[in-house]
Amino acid sequence: RPSLHQRWEGFKGERIDGDKPTFSVKRSMMIGRSRAGVTVEVYDNQREEYHIEGCFSQRCCTVFNAMKETMAEIYRKVDPTTGNLLGKEVFSLCVKPGFDAAFAMGFVLVLDHISGDDSINDDATTEPTVHPTVEDYEDK
């Protein structure tokens, strides 16, 4: 759920009044940059922090821990028969062994909520998913 100051809070399961959030996500405010990162603070452990860089609306981002080690990656899947990118709703979440996959999925849910407003014009900047074939050039 969003809170004040561009901060979203994540809870374990359904939030019930009185529950404390597990983590919070704060968007980096960089004007004119759609690829600005976010910082994740874990409430149970004040020293645990993550940074997510990339463009979630394009499903292309990486979760780093405080030591800049990759903990998880989000990327769009590709149709193996055609080589075309599948829709934005079809993506992979690859998690480093030992990193809590449910926790990483919580990041995905928050990022999806945050990027909901940013994804209106994203299709204009993406590479087309249909590429010309050899036959297309032979006709010209």
Q: What is the 3-state secondary structure (H, E, C) of 21-52?
A: CCEEEEECCCCCCCCCCEEEEECCCCCCEEEE
Report pLDDT digits (tens) over 40-89.
Answer: 989 887 778 999 999 888 889 999 999 999 999 999 999 999 989 898 88
pTM for this one? 0.70
Q: Are 59 and 76 in contact, with CB atoms under 8 Å apart? A: yes
- Exposed / middle / buried, residue 87 (Cβ in 10 Å: 0-12, 13-18, 19+): exposed
pLDDT score, position 5:
60
* % of the chain exceeding 90 in pLDDT: 29
Angle 2-94-23 from CA coordinates, rounded to 5°: 25
10 Å CB burial of residue 53 (0-12, 13-18, 19+) is: middle
Dist. CA 128–CA 121, nearest whole Å? 14
Mean pLDDT in residue range 106-130: 60
| pLDDT attached to residue 134 | 37
